[in-house]
């Protein structure tokens, strides 16, 4: 996983990732590894570009709240692949979070 991807998972999952022993991060990581390579390549490209944006926009250090706000704005971005990037990460984290958390 790249820096931005890990930061997004941490920000969206909050303390749940620690509670599950990092299982949410692991699920997202293995999902990326299992993705078709051409799709993963596209996601990597977006992570690099959007990661650079986050670093510049929220310098010196992006907080979890900054990341969550950025994701919320990307979900309504006019560019389709950015919307899909946000949806993909939100879906993976949400599914893992709800499936892995004890009742």
Partner 1 sequence: MTRTISTEVLIIGSGAGGAVTAARLAEAGRSVIVAEEGPWYDPDAHQPSSLDEFTARYRHQGACAALGSPGIAFAEGRCVGGSTEINMGLYHRLPERFVDLWRTTYSIADFDVATLRHYADEVESVVKVSRLPGAVPASSAVLSRGADELGWRNVEFARVYSYDEGGHGTKQSMSRTMIPRAVAAGAVVQADCTVRSLTSSGRRVTGARATLRHPDGSTEPVAFRADDVFVCGGAIQSPALLQRSGFRHNIGAGLKFHPTVKVAARFDHPYDHEEVPVHRVTEFDPYLTIGGSASRRGHVALALVDSAPGDLDRLLEHWQNVVVYYAAIRSSGSGRVTALPGLRAPLVTYSLRDSDLSRLARGLVHLGEMLLAAGAKELFPSIAGGPIVRCRADLAQWWGALNRAQSNLMTVHLTSTIRMGDDSALTGADSFGRVWDSDNLFVNDASLLPDAPGVNPQAAVMTIAARNADAYLAR
Residues that bind partner 1 in the complex, under the rule CB under 8 A: 27, 30-32, 34-39, 72, 75-76, 78, 80, 83-84, 87-88, 90-92, 94-100
Nearer to partner 1, 60 or 103 (CB): 103
- Which tokens in the block code for residue 18? 């620690």
CA distance 6 to 90: 12
Q: How far is the CB of 5 from partner 1 (least distance, A)?
A: 13
Nearer to partner 1, 50 or 96 (CB): 96
Helix, strand, coil distribution of the chain in percent, nearest 5: 80, 0, 20
What distance lies between CA 93 and its chain's CA centroid? 7
Q: How far is the CB of 74 from partner 1 (least distance, A)?
A: 11
């Amino acid at each position: 996983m790249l820096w931005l991807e890990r930061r997004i998972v941490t920000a969206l999952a909050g303390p749940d990732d620690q509670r599950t022993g990092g299982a949410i991060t692991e699920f997202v990581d293995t999902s990326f590894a299992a993705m078709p390579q051409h799709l993963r390549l596209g996601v990597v490209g977006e992570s690099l570009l959007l990661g650079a944006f986050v670093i510049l926009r929220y310098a010196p250090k992006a907080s979890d709240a900054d990341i969550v706000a950025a994701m919320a704005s990307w979900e309504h971005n006019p560019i389709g692949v950015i919307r899909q990037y946000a949806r993909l990460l939100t879906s993976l984290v949400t599914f893992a979070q709800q499936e892995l958390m004890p009742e």
